[in-house]
A and B are shown apart, each in its own frame.
Chain A
């Protein structure tokens, strides 16, 4: 917790500019300690490790870690919960009385699971987020609009970050699309400098709402210096478009799963993609089908997260089911890998031997004004398919000739993705929403028949 040492674009220069080999050395030591800690305290891990014949003292090298320590997923936790009735799925390592915050997962992939913070864990989580925002230029006294969801893991972090940085936060509720006009009014009233978490969908709709209210968005939003979009992967097209619509605002992307402590909030550097702070969490990228490493940690695959310091509900080699792209370009914070979350691992559709995610489609269709809202879903018809099928809702106010639009979209998608595309028009209301702040952009029909 080194806020006292913050200088210019480093919240904690010593930690943030550690050499990669130093970060790795520290990570291995902390992982060894954490494996012993969870084995001694958490019944889920004792059961898991015993079944895999793992004793904590056997993990001496990175090779031991990769070969011996099993990866687990949310379904393993749900199974444990069903078998034992333990709400924390056997992960809780401290008495319940030490927990000061409890959250549930958003339930995107099934029944929500529980997470919790001790006071120390929460402070560390806030530290993680504060670094990125300080580095991004957010400073004490600035006005911030905090969008929150009560049950979400992010809420204590954004509140805590605002407090830690001495911001002047205005709280506003659930970032549902129907809130666009209200939020636009609050922006006009409060004139925020920064909006630390706004859903990509809502960020798209705020300028539309302002226009309806008789304001020029580029002027009304000129005072906003930075927004961080959350909820869905931010495509390059969407980023450019938002920057333009919001009068030149800096658009950062933020994402993560609550359990990981390997979250991705852009801000520290100008390159796209966010650093995962390696002194707090350890990120790996594995092929979701084989669980083999696709790089160390560079590559495209499933993010597997380990927390290095968490005491309450620790996760060691948790398969997040988030599909990420981790880069290896040079950067002074390269001890801490950086990348971005593209979607969910099980949202992949295999067409003619290539994997596609909704992100790949979104990046293209957002270039067309009629489909800029990116209300669509891709359909997995079979394990392997010849055509990528996409259902899209177009903006009725902007579309004169749907047939011509369909042709233009097909051409653009086929040119970019190099596979045949089949487009079906749907109404906006037909796009599934598992939770109010997220569109479901992947539908699996492969098991129907």
Chain B
């Protein structure tokens, strides 16, 4: 199944974990959260929303709650995670130019898997403080006209930035009628609003090849199927973990699961006590973005439940798949 991850890459990931632990322990937040300098990754306490919220109160000197490892001025931009995507708006995120480059790599690979390439037009719907848009388009983002390219420029794609709010569906359709985009990144509410306006026309008749649903909650395979039937177009799903800059794309071959790029994220499944569970056992999805060094998020435990499978498919890097189980732990 798939091709091997390779010993050298595993060693590199370990190295990154070690250096991330060391730099994080220099911050007031992790010094308190971990208490002692950690030796092993698996011994690190997990991180929850409640920890991040409490840190805002306990370390009030900046909006990062004592997690900054670099001067704040080194950040290209800072944002409170979008209210539209439901996370708490009092927890702030930021990104440096270097971190942005890694993140651009994550998304570029996903877009390639989605079959998007040169000459395509892609509509990306987001809130304007949503970091997603910052890496996708050259027009915005920290780079703007002066810095490293974004996903669209790397792939030769023309991106149309639009608002996620369903009341803007008319504008989404108007630009689609002009530009015949290949793909639409949106949430289901917006696509439904578009469908109401379309009448007897279909999304495919406007040129769309697929809709990619953005969500912070996993959309089950059967729901995806229902959307596909209702919208008459292939639907793919992005699972977004905003605090960890985590963006996973559903599996092409196994619609039950989602892939996160393993050279950029450490993906684990942990139990209520924060301990690792064995493969195939249900637990909480726990993520670490290895590239996020400016204000590390380490072993961030989400409320999403599911399990890991190492032999579930033969796509992407090594076939490791997270299979969410929205009904909760068994």
Contact = CB atoms under 8 A, between A and B. Distances in A.
Interface stretch (B9-17, B20-28, B75-83): B75-83
A150 B163 contact: yes
B73 A168 contact: yes
A114 B78 contact: no
B77 A126 contact: no
Interface stretch (A104-112, A211-219, A251-259, A392-400): A104-112
A173 B143 CA distance: 19
Given A172-B79, A173-B82, A87 B179 contact: yes
A114 B147 CA distance: 25
Given A126-B145, A163-B146, A182-B89, A189 B63 contact: yes
Contacts of A164: 144, 146
B152 interface: yes
Given A102-B139, A126-B145, A155-B139, A174 B174 contact: no
Contact of B128 (A99, A114, A174): A174
Given A97-B119, A104-B171, A119-B145, A172 B179 contact: no
Contact of A163 (B128, B147, B175): B147
Given A100-B152, A102-B160, A114-B178, A171 B138 contact: no
A436 B167 CA distance: 9
A224 B168 CA distance: 32
A339 B169 CA distance: 36
Contacts of B153: 100
B214 to A, nearest CB: 14
B138 A101 contact: yes
Given A102-B159, A119-B138, A150-B133, A174 B165 contact: yes
A169 B140 CA distance: 13
Nearest to B125: A150
A338 interface: no
Interface in A175-189: 182, 185-186, 189
B286 interface: no
B163 A160 contact: no
A349 interface: no
Nearest to A99: B158
A170 B146 contact: no
A166 B75 CA distance: 10
B126 interface: yes
Interface in A40-83: 81
A343 to B, nearest CB: 23
B239 to A, nearest CB: 22
A374 to B, nearest CB: 23
A166 to B, nearest CB: 8
A117 interface: yes
B177 to A, nearest CB: 9
B75 A159 contact: no
Interface string A98-139: 011111100100011010010110110010000000000000
**Interface magnitude class on chain B:** 35 or more
B301 interface: no
A304 to B, nearest CB: 25
Contact of A100 (B76, B83, B138, B168): B138
B161 interface: yes
Contacts of A436: 165, 167
Interface in B78-111: 78-80, 82-84, 89-90, 92
A169 B77 contact: yes
B240 to A, nearest CB: 16
Given A150-B126, A189-B90, A141 B147 contact: no
Given A168-B72, A168-B75, A100 B139 contact: yes
B119 A96 contact: yes
Contact of B178 (A81, A146, A148): A81
Contacts of B118: 97
B142 interface: yes
A17 to B, nearest CB: 26
A162 B174 contact: no
Contacts of A147: 128
B129 A148 contact: yes
A5 interface: no
Q: Chain A CB within 10 Å — which of B63, B79, B83, B161 has the most?
A: B161
Interface string B173-189: 01100110000000000
Contact of B79 (A156, A162, A170): A170
Contact of A159 (B73, B126, B140, B156): B140
A149 interface: yes
Interface in B129-157: 129-130, 133-134, 137-147, 152-153, 156
A190 interface: yes
Contact of B141 (A99, A151, A159): A159
A99 B145 CA distance: 11
B175 A101 contact: no
Contact of A155 (B140, B156, B160): B140
B194 interface: no
A123 B146 CA distance: 7
B128 to A, nearest CB: 4
Given A114-B178, A190-B78, A173 B161 contact: no
Q: Chain A CB within 10 Å — which of B92, B147, B165, B175 has the most?
A: B175
B54 to A, nearest CB: 15
B77 A104 contact: no
Interface in B34-91: 63, 72-73, 75-80, 82-84, 89-90
A168 B78 contact: yes
B128 A96 contact: no
Interface string A22-33: 000000000000
Contact of B129 (A87, A166, A171): A171
Contact of A160 (B90, B128, B146, B174): B146
A173 B127 contact: yes
18 contacts: A99-B158, A104-B171, A112-B171, A112-B174, A114-B175, A114-B178, A117-B145, A122-B144, A149-B128, A151-B160, A151-B163, A163-B144, A163-B147, A169-B76, A171-B78, A173-B130, A186-B89, A189-B92
Interface of B: 63, 72-73, 75-80, 82-84, 89-90, 92, 118-119, 125-130, 133-134, 137-147, 152-153, 156, 158-163, 165, 167-168, 171, 174-175, 178-179
Given A126-B145, A150-B161, A151-B168, 20 more contacts: A97-B118, A102-B158, A107-B174, A112-B175, A117-B139, A119-B138, A120-B145, A122-B139, A122-B144, A155-B161, A159-B144, A160-B144, A164-B144, A170-B79, A171-B128, A172-B79, A172-B80, A173-B82, A173-B128, A186-B89
Q: What are the 4 closest A-B residue pairs judged by CB atoms, nearest first? A: A101-B139, A87-B178, A148-B128, A160-B144
